[in-house]
């Protein structure tokens, strides 16, 4: 089980750098998208966030934290799509798009919070967005690199070199690493389900004091 980790962490450093850079580009792009919103869109966003924070602060019915399997399902679907795209040559661009899109989503979320509430929005992002993503993002990056590496291996062996060797061992290593990352995501989903809402409730009173 350790062999896939040694392989990806040691022999695929350039891919890690590339995927991480792509993700960071997505974060920057997502943050810049906030400035591109029209005045009406910004007002709608401000009202939505205001109502959300009031609901969290007062324990309103409109704030219903996601159940564990809903949270885990989101992460596992993302991971499963990366694994599936890695099985084919044509899926390679899709993996890169998913990594970029993940960065965009995080960048846009943090950018909205900071744009609306400055340092208080940043504090809320630190307790609501950052903690679980410190684990989720590396897990998805590792899975993406494994998927890209497996896809490139197919290209080299089947397309360029016209080899028809046994692909069972690479496939098992690739799938084994994906399963390990799934276990990690299942673990972090418990934190996101039961701990993150509590941390959010600690911070929202300070945001409410800003005049919501």
Q: Is the pLDDT of residue 165 over 70?
A: no
What predicted TM-score, i.e. pTM, was given to this entire model? 0.86
Which of 211, 205, 212, 197 shows the shortest CA–CA distance to 58?
A: 205
Q: Is the pLDDT of residue 91 over 60?
A: yes
List pLDDT tens digits, range 58-69: 665 555 678 899
List pLDDT tens digits, range 3-43: 555 554 667 889 999 999 999 999 999 999 998 888 888 88
Q: Where is average pLDDT lowest: 69-73, 102-106, 130-134, 163-167?
A: 163-167
Q: What's the maximum distance between 2 C-alpha atoms anywhere in the chain?
A: 67
Higher pLDDT, 160 or 37: 37
Q: Is the pLDDT of residue 211 over 50?
A: no
Q: Is the pLDDT of residue 208 over 80?
A: no
Q: What is the pLDDT of residue 27?
A: 96
- Residues of the chain with pLDDT > 90, as a percent, come to 54
Helix axes 2-11, 130-154, angle to 10 degrees: 90
Please state, in angstroms and rounded to a whole number, the distance separating the CA atoms of residues 14 and 84: 22
Supply the mean pLDDT for the chain: 86
Structure token pair of residue 136: 């989720």
* Listed ranges 46-60, 117-131, 150-164, 193-207; the one with the highest mean pLDDT: 117-131
Residue 147: strand, helix, or coil:
helix
């Amino acid at each position: 089980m350790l062999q896939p980790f040694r392989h990806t962490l040691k022999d695929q450093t350039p891919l890690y750098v590339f995927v991480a850079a792509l993700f960071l580009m997505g974060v920057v792009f997502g943050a810049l998208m906030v400035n591109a919103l029209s005045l009406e869109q910004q007002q709608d966003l401000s009202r939505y966030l205001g109502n959300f924070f009031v609901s969290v602060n007062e324990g309103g019915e409109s704030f219903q934290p996601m159940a564990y399997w809903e949270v885990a399902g989101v992460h596992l679907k993302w991971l499963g799509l990366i694994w599936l795209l890695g099985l084919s040559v044509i899926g390679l661009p899709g993996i890169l798009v998913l990594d970029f899109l993940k960065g965009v989503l995080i960048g846009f979320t943090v950018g909205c919070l900071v744009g609306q509430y400055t340092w208080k929005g940043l504090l809320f992002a630190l307790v609501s967005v950052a903690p679980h993503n410190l684990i989720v993002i590396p897990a998805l990056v590792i899975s993406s690199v494994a998927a890209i590496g497996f896809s490139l291996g197919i290209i080299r062996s089947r397309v360029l070199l016209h080899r028809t060797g046994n692909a069972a061992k690479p496939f098992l290593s690739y799938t084994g690493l994906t399963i390990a990352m799934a276990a990690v995501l299942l673990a972090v989903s418990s934190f996101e389900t039961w701990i993150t809402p509590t941390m959010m409730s600690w911070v929202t009173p300070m945001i409410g004091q800003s005049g919501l």
